[in-house]
Amino acid sequence: MNKIRKPILDVLQGREPEHRPVWLMRQAGRYLPEYREIRAKSKNFLNMCLTPDLATEITLQPIRRFHMDAAILFADILLIPMALGVPLDFREGEGPVLQEVQEKELEKLVYDAKKVEAVFETVRRVKKELPPQTALIGFCGSPWTVACYMIDGNSRSHFSKTRSWAQDKPELLDKIIHTLIDASEKYLVSQINAGAEVIQLFDSWAGLLSGQNFTRFVIEPTRLLVERIKKIHPSIPIIGFPREAREGYGPYIRETGVDGLSIDQSLDLDIAKRDLQSIKPLQGNLDPSLLVKGGKEMQEALAQMLTKMGPCHIANLGHGVVPETPVEHVRDMVNFVQAFKI
Ligand code: CP3
């Protein structure tokens, strides 16, 4: 029997894909009317993440409409702090708010898998429903980015407290980060055991660090986490996304052990091709505002990206789909990429 190949896995494992693969960060979300309908009926966002019926439905919504090459599990990077016992709230129009972690309470952070069992059930259900050529991506936040939310509680002050811990109390930050590496390993291994076929690590705030602190709090924790997952599941590809890491992308792709690198839109594609794609497959980096604009401008940028990057590339945005994105533009992007020749 001829096994159906998944284009995203082909790219990440070094084979030429049958067509150019595409998926979008935040492909399940507020730009979709069917998502907004569920959102309006639900008590809160966290409840949606932790109800397998709803999370499965939301994960599948963009796949049914647009047939992307991968589904990404509907959940959130802040479920790990929740599983560590940190009170978490998603407020309307305000984003996530966590209870700030106190220095003296670090010992009390213990990962309780039961609190996120619903996530693994969602993975099992989605896996059963997906078309055979569609890959399922599991994810978590990288330790640095999750630590930012745990220490500051929210993003209002651009994580000033976390940044001051990095300078003045690095041992405390190391401690939180190691707790997060342990929890993330368990959480991701459970997602893989339930059926996730690719893992993405979201380091949305990697760009806040540079130099030695980037090495200590971004590269080293990612390297450890990747090493531990690979020990248990050596063949599951891992994509890293150290957003806005600038000159940090090079050391990140060379030293962390990730199989693919997602790049943000600030990176020049010629430089990305020369310095990064020569090492590992890349993902990205269309500006999300071009997906809002759509039309000729978007198609020209897509053609340029696809021509430059060649088949060793997963088409995606440089960050998530924004809520004002017209649904038709998402359809155009997916069709354009999947039909692209050369
Ligand atoms: O479609 C997907 O990409 C899968 C689901 C997913 C969500 N969040 C759902 C979500 C993923 C992969 C994430 C990752 C995530 N969550 C990140 C890393 C990526 C990034 O955007 O930088 C971060 C930093 C978070 C934390 C978070 N969750 C914030 C800051 C917010 C508020 C901002 C916003 O966009 O509303 C969320 C809420 C959130 N997570 C929504 C969704 C669909 C919107 C919730 C709503 O409907 O109100």
Q: How confident is the model at residue 91 (pLDDT cuts 50, 70, 90)?
A: confident
Residues 294-320: what's their mean pLDDT? 98
Closest CA to 130 of 53, 69, 52: 69
28 within ligand 1 shell (Cβ under 6 A): yes
* Mutational test site, ligand 1, from 23, 26, 322, max ligand atoms within 8 Å of CB: 26
Tens digit of each residue's pLDDT (9 = 90 or more) over 35-76: 999 999 997 999 999 999 999 999 999 999 999 999 999 999
Tens digit of each residue's pLDDT (9 = 90 or more) over 119-143: 999 999 999 999 999 999 999 999 9
pLDDT at 1 over 90: no
Dist CA 62 CA 135 (whole Å): 13
pLDDT at 3 over 80: no
76 within ligand 1 shell (Cβ under 6 A): yes
Residues 245-271: what's their mean pLDDT? 98
74 within ligand 1 shell (Cβ under 6 A): yes
Tens digit of each residue's pLDDT (9 = 90 or more) over 199-221: 999 999 999 999 999 999 999 99
Q: Give the rounded percent of residues in the chain with a pLDDT score beyond 90.
A: 96
If you take atom 43 of ligand 1, which residue's CA is the nearest one?
Answer: 29
Cα 292 off chain centre by: 21
pLDDT at 261 over 80: yes
265 SS3 class: coil
If you take atom 13 of ligand 1, which residue's CA is the nearest one?
Answer: 76
Residues noted as catalytic: 26, 30, 39, 76, 149
45 within ligand 1 shell (Cβ under 6 A): yes
